[in-house]
Amino acid sequence: MKISFVVAVYHNEGALVKTYEKIRSVFSTQLVDDEYEIVFVDDGSKDGSLQEVLSLRKHDTRVKVITFTRNFGQMAAMLAGFKEATGDAVINISADLQDPVELIPQMVEKWHEGSEIVICYRTDRSDSLLAKLFSRLAYGVLRISLPQIPPGGFDFVLMDRKVMDAFNAIDVRHRFFQGDLLWTGYRTSFIPYIRLKRTIGKSQYNFGKKLKNFLDGVLDASYLPIRFISLVGVITSALGVLYSLSIVFSWWRGETPFSGWAPIMIAILLVGGLIMVMLGVIGEYVWRINEEVRKRPNYVVRDKFL
């Protein structure tokens, strides 16, 4: 069997050779009967990452390289790699050595046993307290409407060829990898692991990119925002009706329901704030609809070395 590895690359100089060597070592010592290929996708790196993977390709034709014209994001790099992968199974793995390569034989074994998707999910991560807190909050919200997502999320995953073909057939601009993959409904098994601490380089996955990925998950793979708006609207309307009845009742008894303008201002600011939040959420949906109508590609390829 042939197993493809897709590695999204962005400012990973110094880690790519080690990633390659670890993967090669697994196949030379444990998966000796299987073939492999590694598809590196350079997402507009400004360091020496591209030169590093091109150097690997000179010595091993099983290494494939795709380069973008600029930085389009990790999801775009993964999509490009998935479309070029030719293996019977495809493994998405990070370029920064934070995903334990030692789990690959176990993933392949579960695949041979009948699992069509093998997910290695994070039970803990060697990150800062703030990063861990954001991760817990984000996945806590996502799991309200997508309960099958593991609490710590995942990126390190094996997909059978038919799963890969189904995933590649989804033609939308804003993709949420975890939601789209689980949506396919194929037989899935899970392997827990602790995400390792990055030892080479600095992570380029900043708060803005994390927030974008979170919004993609909430808005594109979840009905939660629309349901939330509807629920808040119903509650606000109900409270408004009750308050109106109390005013009518007070007027009927000849009482003034309130004195001064403070209650009016509070009500106006509260309802106005809710309306602005709702318009913002609806605006996000309208913008994404506009992006889909424009049909721009998720990435632009500069060169392919296949």
pLDDT digits (tens, 9 = 90+) for 284-302: 777 777 777 778 888 999 9
- pLDDT band, very low/low/confident/very high, at 237 (cuts 50, 70, 90): low
Question: What amino acid is encoded at 217 in this protein?
Answer: G
- pLDDT band, very low/low/confident/very high, at 278 (cuts 50, 70, 90): confident
C-alpha dihedral sign at 104, 110, 111, 116: negative
Contact between 93 and 6 (Cβ < 8 Å) = yes
Per-residue pLDDT for 5 more than 90? Answer: yes
% residues pLDDT > 90 (the chain): 44
- Tell me which long-range contacts 229-238 makes (C-beta under 8 A, separation of at least 24): 229/278, 229/281, 229/282, 232/274, 232/278, 233/278, 236/271, 236/274
Q: Which of 115-124, 153-162, 246-255 has the lowest mean pLDDT?
A: 246-255
Q: What is the CATH number of domain 2-222?
A: 3.90.550.10
Contact between 90 and 4 (Cβ < 8 Å) = yes
pLDDT at 249: 73
Per-residue pLDDT for 103 more than 80? Answer: yes
Phi then psi for residue 297, to 5 deg, are -70, 160
pLDDT at 19: 93
Q: If you ran DSSP here, which 8-state letter would residue 69 be given? A: S
pLDDT at 265: 62
Instruction: For tokens 């010592």, name the residue.
Output: 29
Using alpha carbons only, give the angle 26, 80, 104 rounded to the nearest 5 degrees: 20
What pTM was computed for the model?
0.74
pLDDT at 65: 97
